[in-house]
Amino acid sequence: MLGRLNHVAIAVPDMAAASTIYRNMLGARLTDPQALPEHGVTVVFIDVGNTKIELLEPLGADSPIAAFLVKNPAGGMHHVCYEVPDILAARDRLKDQGARILGDGEPKIGAHGKPVLFLHPKDFNGTLIELEQE
């Protein structure tokens, strides 16, 4: 079921400052910031060849990463995203085994225009997992 690692997401309190660090200190090439109001975040992607890094900055009053940044004011690793060949089949298999799907359990369209779901971190060793349709 589990496919390749699509990205590792890092929550940042200040996208401009984080982008400068990645661009200037690490020599990374960054995409332009993309606002995703339905997800409550602004994202920037960094292609590192075998996967991507996703920088996440809160967008709007009830951003899902706001509480994370209160606990981790300097930012921190927020989630990992794995590709799956069939997101509905993956969801049903996980639910059958007792895993909790966040939100209403229905896939939303993510930053790459593909359906995504998030799995409860308490069911996965404290790691928030995003699944993205291949």
Active site residues: 130
CB of 116 to Co ion, least distance (A): 7
- Nearest to Co ion of 81, 119 (CB atom): 81
Taking the C-alpha atoms of residue 58 and residue 115, their distance in angstroms, rounded to an integer, is: 21
Minimum distance from residue 34 beta carbon to Co ion (Å): 12
Pick from 69, 81, 90, 101 the residue near Co ion by CB under 5 A. 81
Question: Is position 132 an interface residue for Co ion (rule: CB under 5 A)?
Answer: no
Binding Co ion (rule: CB under 5 A), the pick from 117, 130, 131, 133 is 130
> Any idea what DSSP says for residue 61?
T
